Structure 1
Amino acid sequence: MTALPPGGVITIAGKRVSRLGLGTMRLTGPGTWGPPADVTAARTVLRAAIDSGITHLDTADAYGPHTVEDLLRRTLHPYPDEVLLATKVGMVRPAPNVWKPLGRPDYLRAAVEACLRRLAIDRIDLCYLHRIDPAVPLADQVGELAALQDEGKVAAIGLSKVTPEQIRHACQVAAIAAVQNCLNLDEPDDPALTYCADNGIPYIPYRPLNAGRLIPSAGIDKPLGWLLALGEHVAPIPATSSPQHLHALVQAGHRLHP
C-alpha cells in the first residue's frame, strides 16, 4: 500500500483494507446504463483510488450492466494484492433505471462465471447476493454461492439490502462475510447495523452521502464522520465519477481518522 488508508483499516473477507472504500456504480452512463460519458475520467478515478490508499473496491455485474467490471479489468488488472475486489450477482437490468432480482441457482452460477471472465480472475474476493429474489428460497440462493465457494470460485459471501432475519437465515447456510445496506443521515435507521455489530459482521453502507444530496447542507466530513462513529465494523463506500470528488473523499477520510 503506497498511501495511508483513508478512514483507517478494517478486515473484510479476510483482507485488511481501507475502511473508506469506493463504490463504482457512478462509473456508468445515465440510469446506471452503458459506459460513462468520460471513460478517461472513470479510469482516472479507479487508478487514483488505489494510489490514494483505497483498497476496497465495490462493483456489480448489474452496473452497466457489465460496464464497470470490464472497466476495472482494463484499468487495474492485474489487481494489487492488497485490494479487496467485491462484486454482486442476482440482479438483471432490462432497461435503464430498471432493476429486477433474479436468484435462480442456475442463473447465479452463470453470473459468477461471467464475472470471473470479465474481471479476469480465478476467484471473487467477496461476492454479494445483490438482492434476495422473493420467488426463490433464500437457502437456495445462498446455497448456490456456498457451492461456488466450495469450488474455489468465490472466497467470501455477502448480502445486500437485507434484514436481520434474512441475515440470520443466510448464516444457517453459509458464513456471511459482509452486509451492504443503505445508510446515511437522511436514511439513518437500519436494524441490521446493530445485528452485524453483535455478530461480528462488517457493515458496508452504500449511498453514504445520499447520492450527493447531503453535501450542500452537511459537507463530506459530517456524513462520513457520523457513519464511522457508529462502530468499527462500519466501512462506507461512497461512489463518484469525479477525480476531484474522489480527492475530497480521501482527504475527509484522513481528517476523520488521522
Structure 2
Amino acid sequence: MTTTTRPAEASGTFAIGGDLVVNRLGFGSMQLTGEGVWGEPRDPEEAVRVLRRAVELGVTLIDTADSYGPFVAERLIKKALHPYPDELVIATKAGFTRQGPGEWRPLGRPEYLRQQAELSLRHLGVERIDLFQLHRIDPAVPVADQVGELALLQQEGKIRHIGLSEVSVEDVEEAGKSARIVSVQNLYNLAHRDAEPLLEYAEANDIAFIPWFPLATGSLAKEGGPLAEAAAGHGATPSQLALAWLLRRSPVMLPIPGTSKVAHLEDNVTAATVTLTDEQFEALSKGA
C-alpha cells in the first residue's frame, strides 16, 4: 500500500526483464560525484544521506555507472546501502573512459567491458549486477563483439540483465541478435522528445525506457508557461509536473531524476503522487 512516507510507490511498478519489479520513479546517481562528474562530492555525508533517504521514500531502482567519478558513485552506493534491501535493483553501466572533468570517450572493446564489469561487482559489493547497460556503443568495435561479451558475462552469472544507452531502434534490433535487451536509456523529457520512436518500440516490446536528463524544464517553467500554470493549480513545482508527465506518458517509463541534496530528492520523489488529468497532460504535451 502506498503511504505518504514512501511516495515513490505511487509511481506504480514495472518488471525489468519480466522479473525485476521496481517502483517506476527511481534515482540517478550521477550528481553525487564532483564537478564535471569527476572525483569525490563536496559533501560525501550528504551524498550518503541522499541514497539512504531515497530508499526510505520507496525508491527501488538506482542507476549508476563505472564512469561516474570514476567509480565514486558506485562506492558511495555501497557505503550507504550495503547490505542491500532485497527489493533494491542497482543498474550500472560501462563503455566510457574518463580523462578528466566533463571528458567522456566511448570504449567498447570486449576485454575492457569485462574488466569494468568485474570492477563494478567489487565496488558495489555484489556477486551479480541486476542490470548492466552498455553506456555507449563504440563505433570502432562491432556491436556483436560488445554485446556478445555482456552475454558471456550473463552466462557466467555476473550479469542478470542487459541494457543499452543512447541508441536507436536499429541499434536495439542489432544488439538483440547477440543478447536479450531489456532496457534502453536515452535523453528524453518534456522538452526533448527525439527518442519518441525508441519509446514506442520499447513500449511495444515491454522494454524499460529510462529517460536521462528528465528535468529539462527550461522555458516550459517560465512565468506564464504551461508548466508554471499547471504547477500553480496543483500546488506542485514545475519539476514535479515534468516527472508526472513522464510517468503518465508510458507504462514502461522509468524516470531517474538525480540530485545531491536530500531536500531536492524529497521534492522529486513526491512527483509520483501528482496526478495529471487528460486535459493537463495534453496541454503540457502541446505546450512543449
User: The TM-score by the shorter chain falls in which range?
Assistant: over 0.9
**How far did residue 145 of structure 1 move?**
0.2
**1:9-67 alpha-carbon deviations (Å, 9 max, x no partner):** 11113211110000000001110000111111111110000000000000000000110
Structure 1 unaligned residues grouped into runs of 5+: none
Partner of 2:32, secondary structure, is coil
The two structures have a TM-score, normalised by structure 2, of 0.85
**8 Å Cα contact 1:6-1:54 kept in structure 2:** no
- Using the alignment, how far apart are the partners of 1:150 and 1:214 within structure 2? 47
**How far did residue 248 of structure 1 move?**
0.5
Classify 1:189/1:15 alpha carbon distance in 2 versus 1 (closer, same or farther; 3 Å).
Answer: same
Question: Residues 220-231 of structure 1: matches in 2 within 5 Å?
Answer: 220-231=239-250
Report the structure number with the largest CA radius of gyration. 2
- Using the alignment, how far apart are the partners of 1:65 and 1:150 within structure 2? 27
Q: Which residue does 2:209 correspond to in 1?
A: 203
Out of 5, 8, 16, the residue aligned to residue 12 of structure 1 is 16
Q: Which residue does 1:118 correspond to in 2?
A: 123
Question: Residues 164-203 of structure 1: matches in 2 within 5 Å?
Answer: 164-190=169-195, 191-203=197-209
Question: Residues 14-163 of structure 1: matches in 2 within 5 Å?
Answer: 14-163=19-168
- Using the alignment, how far apart are the partners of 1:86 and 1:224 within structure 2? 20
**1:110-158 alpha-carbon deviations (Å, 9 max, x no partner):** 0000000111110000000000000000111000000000000000000
Greater share of helix: 2
One-letter amino acid matched to 1:40: E
- Using the alignment, how far apart are the partners of 2:6 and 2:210 within structure 1? 22
One-letter amino acid matched to 2:207: I
**1:170-197 alpha-carbon deviations (Å, 9 max, x no partner):** 1111111111111012212212111111
One-letter amino acid matched to 1:245: H
One-letter amino acid matched to 2:138: D
- Using the alignment, how far apart are the partners of 1:167 and 1:202 within structure 2? 12
Give the percent of matched residue pairs that are identical in Structure 1 and Structure 2: 48
Classify 1:214/1:65 alpha carbon distance in 2 versus 1 (closer, same or farther; 3 Å).
Answer: farther
**8 Å Cα contact 1:161-1:180 kept in structure 2:** yes
Matched residue count? 256
* 1:244 has 2:263 as partner: yes
- Using the alignment, how far apart are the partners of 2:117 and 2:246 within structure 1? 31
**8 Å Cα contact 1:6-1:250 kept in structure 2:** no
- Using the alignment, how far apart are the partners of 2:270 and 2:153 within structure 1? 38
Classify 1:214/1:242 alpha carbon distance in 2 versus 1 (closer, same or farther; 3 Å).
Answer: farther
Which structure is higher in RCO with an 8 Å CA cutoff and minimum separation 6? Answer: 1
Q: Which residue does 1:3 correspond to in 2?
A: 6
One-letter amino acid matched to 2:255: P
